[in-house]
Amino acid sequence: MSSTTRTAERWTNWGRCASSTPSRVAHPRTADEVAEIVRTAADSGQRVKPVGAGHSFTSIAATDGVQLRMDGLAGIQHVDHETGYVTVGAGTSLHDLNPALHALGLALPNMGDVDPQTVSGATATGTHGTGARLQGITGAIVGLQLVTGDGSVVTVTPDDAALFGAARVGLGALGVVTAITLACVPSFLLHAREEPMRLTDVLGGLDALVDENDHFEFYWFPHTDRALVKRNNRVPEGTARKPLSKARFLFDDEIVSNGVFEIVNRVATRQRSWVPRLNEISGRALSAREYTDWSYEVFVSPRRVRFREMEYAIPRAALPEVLREIDTWIDASDETVSFPVEVRFAAPDDIWMSTGYDRANAYVAVHQYHQMDYRPYFEGVEAIVKEHQGRPHWGKLHTLDADALRARYPRFDDFLSVRDRLDPHRTFANAYLDRVLGGGHASANVSGATVSA
């Protein structure tokens, strides 16, 4: 049986800031079906683009060619109980994966703060959580299966250093990933401690906070000296699970962090001068709390207020200076910012296009409510982080092009060589990839896809 195909409707991402109209949508169920679709499209000069959950803010997943929905290639395919290696279909959502792993006594070593993304979408853009001794989700990849531009099905393992270096954060530029093998760890409980602190105190004790906690992050409320600090740590063997009560979760996570926050943002849209006062109140509204729960329950929070986001990785030592410069910029500008600035940390890795390549990073993420113009704020912050060797998250808004990125990624040209080998005719290209990797073709020039930015 062949994969199901249908005529496409307009596709839009979660942030409502990227959209495109594919020529058709296909739902392949096997690697061979993906290969057939790629060969047929390439023969007729069409582009192909797999899409995950549309949770990238950039137009990295947009296409006017054939859109592949990967939901037919989902679920756990193989488990090696000795090594903890688990092979999953590329389209498996993290939301489905976490409880399925838990049922096997396993877990991902680290996670970001939401779970609707697919495993392939999250890893293609280098999705990460926080933890100075831990890498992003991509750091857990020990192998993957990839359908390349000529329809070949290739198995990528650490034995092929070039393919392995390039394909784990592949940006969707090297082919269609059909399965991923992840090194999982035994299920673990995390003790979560969350409390408001002065930003001055956070920065004063930063190294200890980052190094002495397994997962440390904080949210700074612009226009104020207030921050919400989160420390998540593994607990000793035998510790009992003590999850948040349903009432506390409903109040803090649903009502304050989402319901009230939506209202705060609507008010902020009309009464911009109220934002500093609203941020003072928000910075105090979430009181201290502690609980102990399974890792994936602690990592993930509901995010119902729609926003746009830009996130840059900067060398960890540059963080205090970068935050001071952002504070000064906001004070001197007309901008009012109701969303907290999110700050996280990660260990270096060896993945060529990962923001963590060969560098211990702090991550600075700025957000703006979806009904407000994000550009002046993001441009102001981007000018600052660019001066500190900032590397943008591939799935979040930024304006860098291939020349600027080449200077930030030592293996950039090696990645392009692998791309020339795997996708010489640019079957997997789109306008975003033309910008960030260069529009050049291995054998001739191709134009960008006509999609919105």
Instruction: Take residue 27 and report the two structure tokens written for it.
Output: 């739902």
Tokens standing for 130? Answer: 């926080």
Contact status: 176 vs ligand FAD (CB under 6 A): yes
**Beta carbon nearer to ligand FAD, 110 or 224:** 110
The interface mask with ligand FAD, positions 235-274, x = CB under 6 A, is ----------------------------------------
CB of 379 to ligand FAD, least distance (A): 20
Among 47, 49, 386, 388, binds ligand FAD (CB under 6 A): 49
CB of 58 to ligand FAD, least distance (A): 8
**Would you count residue 52 as binding ligand FAD (CB under 6 A)?**
yes
Q: Strand pairing partners for 180?
A: 88, 144
As measured in angstroms, the least distance from the Cβ of 81 to ligand FAD is 26
Nearer to ligand FAD, 55 or 191 (CB): 55
**Residue of 31, 35, 47, 54 interacting with ligand FAD (CB under 6 A):** 54
Work out whether 56 is an interface residue with ligand FAD (CB under 6 A). Answer: yes
290 pairs with which residues across the strands? 193
What gap in Å lies between CA 194 and CA 287, rounded to an integer? 8
Instruction: Give residues 91-150 in contact with ligand FAD (rule: CB under 6 A).
Output: 112-114, 117-118, 120-122, 124-125, 127-128
- The order of strands in the sheet holding 176-183 is 76-80, 85-89, 176-183, 141-147, 153-156
Alpha-carbon distance of 453 to 449, in angstroms, equals 11
- Give whichever of 68 and 223 is closer to ligand FAD, judged by the CB atom: 68
Chain positions 336 to 395 lying near ligand FAD, rule: CB under 6 A, are: 393, 395
Q: What secondary structure, in 3-state letters, does 69-114 show?
A: EHHHCCCEEEEECCCCEEEEECCCEHHHHHHHHHHCCEECCCCCCC
Closest CA to 146 of 118, 126, 166: 166
Closest approach of ligand FAD to the CB of residue 417, in Å: 19
Task: State in Å, rounded, how far the first CA of the chain is from the last one.
Answer: 37
- CA-nearest of 299, 309, 303, 300 to 254 is 303
Is residue 51 a contact residue for ligand FAD (CB under 6 A)? yes
Q: CA 67 to CA 44: how far, in whole Å? A: 15
Say whether residue 181 binds ligand FAD (CB under 6 A). no
- Residue 70 contacts ligand FAD per CB under 6 A: yes
Give the Cα separation of 350 and 20 in Å (integer).
Answer: 33
User: Which residue among 8, 41, 42, 53 contacts ligand FAD (CB under 6 A)?
Assistant: 53
d(CA 437, CA 283): 40
Burial environment of residue 395 by CB neighbours within 10 A (0 to 12, 13 to 18, 19 or more): buried
Choose between 65 and 172: whose C-beta lies nearer to ligand FAD: 172
The residue among 62 and 337 lying less far from ligand FAD, judged by its C-beta, is: 62
Question: Which two tokens mark 420?
Answer: 């020339």
- State yes or no: residue 310 binds ligand FAD (CB under 6 A): no
Q: How is residue 19 written in tokens? A: 């959209």
Is residue 101 within 8 Å of 188, Cβ to Cβ? no
Closer residue to ligand FAD in complex, CB, 283/395: 395
CA 217 to CA 343: how far, in whole Å?
A: 6
Q: Is 223 in the site for ligand FAD (CB under 6 A)?
A: no
Q: Which residues bind ligand FAD (CB under 6 A)?
A: 14-15, 49-56, 60-61, 70, 90, 112-114, 117-118, 120-122, 124-125, 127-128, 171-172, 176-177, 303, 393, 395
